[in-house]
Amino acid sequence: MNRNMLFLIVGALVVAVAVLGYQTYQDKKQPDGLQINVGKQGLEIKGN
């Protein structure tokens, strides 16, 4: 395997890790606006 192919593979892995990290961040952050939850304890409304 030549050196250019190795750099290509490493670059693709770095991009993949960055994309997965960004998606995880977006999933974890709180949504903006009004949030309504219905659960065992009843109705809960949160506003930002």
- Identity at 35, one-letter amino acid code: Q
Amino acid at site 6: L
Q: Alpha-carbon distance 3 to 39, whole Å?
A: 56
Its domain, for residue 8, covers 3-47
CB 16 within 8 A of CB 4: no
Number of domains in the chain: 1
Q: What is the pLDDT of residues 1-48, one digit of tens each?
A: 699 999 999 999 999 999 999 999 988 887 778 888 898 889 998 876
- Whether the model pTM is above 0.85: no
Residue 33's Cβ-side half-sphere holds a number of Cα atoms within 13 Å equal to 2
* CA–CA separation, 42 and 48 (whole Å): 20
